[in-house]
Amino acid sequence: MNFQEAVKEYQANPTKENLAKQTTALTGEMTLDEKIYMIAGHGVWPTIKDYIKTQRYYNVHALPAGGCKRLGVPPVLFTDGPRGVVMGKSTCFPVSMLRASAFDTDLEYRIGKAIAAEAIAQGANFFGGVCINLVRNPRWGRTQESYGEDPHVLGEFGVALTKSVQEEGMIACPKHYALNSIEDLRFYVNVECDNRTLHEVYLPHFKKCVEAGALSVMGAYNRYDEFHCCGNKKLLADILRDEWGFDGFVMSDFVWGVRDTEQSLRAGLDIEMMVTLKYTKRKIKKLLKNGKVHQGHIDRAVKNILGVLIRLLPKMQPRSMQVVGCPEHKALALEAAEKGMVLLKNDGLLPLAKDTAVMVTGPYADVENVGDHGSSRVYDPHVVTPFGGIKRVFSQASLTDGEVAVVCVGSNSKKEGEYFLSTKYSLEQKPKDAGGDRASLRLEPDEVDLIKRLKAEGKKVVVVLYSGCAIITEDWKQYADAIIMNYYSGCEGGTALANLLCGNRNFSGHLPFTVALREEDYPPIIGIGQKPYEITYGYYHGYTLFDKEEKEVEYPFGFGLSYTDFAISNVEVESVATDVKVKAMIKNTGKVDGADVVQVYVGSKGAKDGADRPVKLLKGFQRVELQAGESKTVEISIPKDDLRFWTPGGWILDDAYTVYVGDDSKKAMSCKVDVTM
């Protein structure tokens, strides 16, 4: 039997039982050396020729793992993400955090389709860009790759991206499993949390992706309960496979993901990526000889990989290179940027007339600043800067003068992102501009001085913020007439900014995180050198923490302004067999068309088990497009399973809940309806 014969046999009878039969038969045809080759990564760093040609050190071509030429088994061919395909000259979409701000899972689904097409055209069959790690502190260096602080949002967007990619025959990979919310110490830190926190806060979004059919998962670098995640039996076997029923394969994070060959094989880690350091023939054969692992561990991993390849790869259709960076994908990147940028403040200045004299200034006024330069970097050759976009729309645009100043400030790849340097020194000795976790959530002093100076000169000031997540605005917001959360807005970011500034498009983005008044209001994040590299993740973070502590915030979770106004009324809540159904009327009460995000939060009215409960948790949302004066009825169904709480004896529903509806987490508190289960 070879791979094509196994595929044909499975397609004739696509059942779970037959898949097991085919993978068992195909595994039985392999030699031990071929099996070991199947579970190892075979990527290489670029050749000198490749580096000179591309100026890249990573993922120049699809990175291979596994494969068996003799039996026709194709390798896994990896490309990274999540803001687009890392290989070639691919379309640079806005970062995930901006896309989450659109609260539009259909848009994310379409972006996934585009990414899959560009990946397939360039020879990949695996997309490692479904990053759904939770943001517990905005200083985390890779916030831009995630969808925010809320498990429900992470799950919904992770599912949308996973489904869209796998429908094209590509393997989608939710990552980094699990509890990965610190960058500087990612190789060392041990995370502790109780089981309730683990299951209710840090795992629900991974579970949703598994239930939606994700066929791979990437383990994280960090430790949980003293075991590295890529060798953690509780995470990989007990929860992922036994509790959730995951039937795909688990891949390690790259190079330093696997620390102990025996531990990882026994725990259920199927592929070591991207090069073979621990899953080598020598190490594995020695373990087999000594009885530390047995043949079943190797066969299990091979079968898991084969099962994914047999089911998914035959769905893949060839794509032309013409799809890479095509006009349709550029238009999609523009749509995402326009929908996801968030208007935080507007003292009546915006929108601007197109003949306004506009000065574009600040460190990012006319430079490409599309995000991290680590594994998620996309090399799009055509990026529109803020000035590049504004000068196309405004007849009097300049980099040196104007009656309105558009000030582009915030962060870049040197201040936040993936972190690669040694961690064997103190936080104070961390090199400047090394990326990783942000040193501060505040603007640089010279950026604040620039904002103040321009205001003192009598100019109207629009502050455009670059960052993956929250920036504290309390110390300078009074000097700004308008504030825009720009994030890293992709190849068409400058075009989107110009369209929003002039009113060609209306702001409709809402924050998928909370902006605090003070940095110390967030849970602590440990830095380099703070031994023994331990941290406890608490049950509360983000808006749940601010609700519990009754702390004021600068901008609540879900916040976002528009050039129009909206009103939510006539809220009705009904408990039916398996769902809680929420109905509400939303009206555009202003004079221009726009879009709002209806958000449904649910809080328990009393815990059956006597445990503490959050005031409220987001359980549903819907983006709604409305013409001026138009009203629509929104209906959101919440599965009752999503309202359960974890206990040592199992998941439970409480007897009664309160449903809150609004267009941010603070406004929702004023519109509430009780419901009995």
Q: Do the domain assignments include residue 84?
A: yes
Predicted confidence band at 530 (pLDDT cuts at 50, 70, 90)? low
Q: Mean pLDDT over residues 120-135, rounded?
A: 98
Return mean pLDDT, the chain.
96
Alpha-helical segments (H) within 58-199: 96-101, 105-121, 151-167, 195-197
In this predicted structure, the answer to whether residue 422 has a pLDDT above a threshold of 70 is no
- For 672, the token pair is 């509430």
Q: What is the pTM of this model?
A: 0.97
Give the dihedral of Cα atoms 370, 214, 153, 192; nearest 10 deg. Answer: -90
* Full DSSP string of 450-513: HHHHHHHTT-EEEEEEE-SS----TTTGGG-SEEEE--S--TTHHHHHHHHHHTSS------SS
> Helices 327-340 and 105-121 sit at what angle, rounded to 10 degrees?
150
Q: Do the domain assignments include residue 181?
A: yes
Among 259, 289, 321, give the residue marking a domain's end.
321
Identify whether 176 is preceded by a cis peptide bond (ω within 30 of 0): yes
CATH number where 172 lies? 3.20.20.300
Q: Do the domain assignments include residue 376?
A: yes
CA distance 652 to 612: 14
Among 294, 321, 348, give the residue marking a domain's end.
321
Q: Are 354 and 433 in a shared domain?
A: yes
What strands lie across the sheet with 76-80, from one edge to the other? 63-65, 76-80, 126-131, 171-175
Q: Mean pLDDT over residues 412-426, rounded?
A: 81
Q: Are 512 and 625 in a shared domain?
A: no
Please, are residues 161 and 82 in contact by the beta-carbon 8 Å criterion? yes
Interval 535-554: pLDDT, tens: 999 999 999 999 999 999 99
Give strand pairing partners of 271.
251
- For 17, the token pair is 């039982």
In this predicted structure, the answer to whether residue 597 has a pLDDT above a threshold of 60 is yes
Rg (C-alpha) for the chain, rounded Å, is: 25
Q: How many residues does the chain have?
A: 677
Give the CA distances from residue 406 to residues 95, 117, 459, 476, 510, in Å, rounded to whole numbers and listed in that order: 22, 36, 10, 15, 21
Q: Are 548 and 598 in a shared domain?
A: no
Q: Are 253 and 358 in a shared domain?
A: no
Alpha-carbon torsion (370, 516, 623, 655), positive or negative: positive
Please name the residue that has the structure tokens 């066929």: 215
Q: Are 204 and 73 in a shared domain?
A: yes
Please, are residues 38 and 66 in contact by the beta-carbon 8 Å criterion? yes
Give strand pairing partners of 568.
586
Please name the residue that has the structure tokens 């996801």: 340
Q: Are 172 and 260 in a shared domain?
A: yes
CA distance 356 to 295: 73
Please, are residues 540 and 155 in contact by the beta-carbon 8 Å criterion? no
- For 8, the token pair is 């044909």
Predicted confidence band at 670 (pLDDT cuts at 50, 70, 90)? very high
Alpha-helical segments (H) within 487-593: 493-502, 542-549
Predicted confidence band at 529 (pLDDT cuts at 50, 70, 90)? low
In 155-295, DSSP assigns E strands to 171-175, 190-192, 216-218, 223-224, 227-228, 249-251
Please, are residues 596 and 634 in contact by the beta-carbon 8 Å criterion? no
Q: Are 344 and 475 in a shared domain?
A: yes
Q: Mean pLDDT over residues 141-157, rounded?
A: 98
Domain range for residue 144?
3-321
In this predicted structure, the answer to whether residue 571 has a pLDDT above a threshold of 70 is yes
Predicted pLDDT at 179: 98
At residue 393, the 3 state secondary structure works out as: helix
HSE of 169 in the Cβ direction (CA atoms, 13 Å)?
Answer: 16
Number of domains composing the chain: 3
Among 555, 578, 594, give the residue marking a domain's end.
555
In this predicted structure, the answer to whether residue 471 has a pLDDT above a threshold of 80 is yes
Q: Do the domain assignments include residue 330?
A: no
Predicted pLDDT at 52: 78
CATH number where 495 lies? 3.40.50.1700
Q: Do the domain assignments include residue 494?
A: yes
Interval 344-391: pLDDT, tens: 999 999 999 999 999 999 999 999 999 999 999 999 999 999 999 999
CATH number where 609 lies? 2.60.40.10
Q: Are 388 and 276 in a shared domain?
A: no
Q: Which of 253, 270, 372, 437 is catalytic?
A: 253
- Kindly give, in sequence order, each residue whose CB lies less than 8 Å from that of residue 92, ignoring residues fewer than 6 positions away: 83, 84, 333, 370, 378, 379, 380, 383, 490, 491
Identify whether 431 is preceded by a cis peptide bond (ω within 30 of 0): no
Q: Are 19 and 38 in a shared domain?
A: yes
At residue 646, the 3 state secondary structure works out as: strand
Q: Are 267 and 154 in a shared domain?
A: yes
Q: Are 80 and 150 in a shared domain?
A: yes
Predicted confidence band at 53 (pLDDT cuts at 50, 70, 90)? confident
Interval 281-322: pLDDT, tens: 999 999 999 999 999 999 999 999 999 999 999 999 999 999
253 is catalytic: yes
- Kindly give, in sequence order, each residue whose CB lies less than 8 Å from that of residue 424, ignoring residues fewer than 6 positions away: none
Predicted confidence band at 425 (pLDDT cuts at 50, 70, 90)? low
Q: Do the domain assignments include residue 669?
A: yes
In this predicted structure, the answer to whether residue 476 has a pLDDT above a threshold of 70 is yes
In this predicted structure, the answer to whether residue 659 has a pLDDT above a threshold of 70 is yes
CA distance 274 to 113: 25
CA distance 341 to 115: 21
pLDDT over 90 percentage in the chain: 93
Q: Do the domain assignments include residue 332?
A: no
Type of residue found at 104: D
Please, are residues 40 and 33 in contact by the beta-carbon 8 Å criterion? no
CA distance 307 to 173: 15
Predicted confidence band at 561 (pLDDT cuts at 50, 70, 90)? very high
Predicted pLDDT at 424: 58
In this predicted structure, the answer to whether residue 426 has a pLDDT above a threshold of 60 is no
Predicted confidence band at 431 (pLDDT cuts at 50, 70, 90)? confident
HSE of 636 in the Cβ direction (CA atoms, 13 Å)?
Answer: 26
> Helices 16-28 and 3-12 sit at what angle, rounded to 10 degrees?
160
Q: Do the domain assignments include residue 454?
A: yes
Interval 599-651: pLDDT, tens: 999 999 999 899 999 999 999 999 999 999 999 999 999 999 999 999 999 99
Q: Are 317 and 379 in a shared domain?
A: no
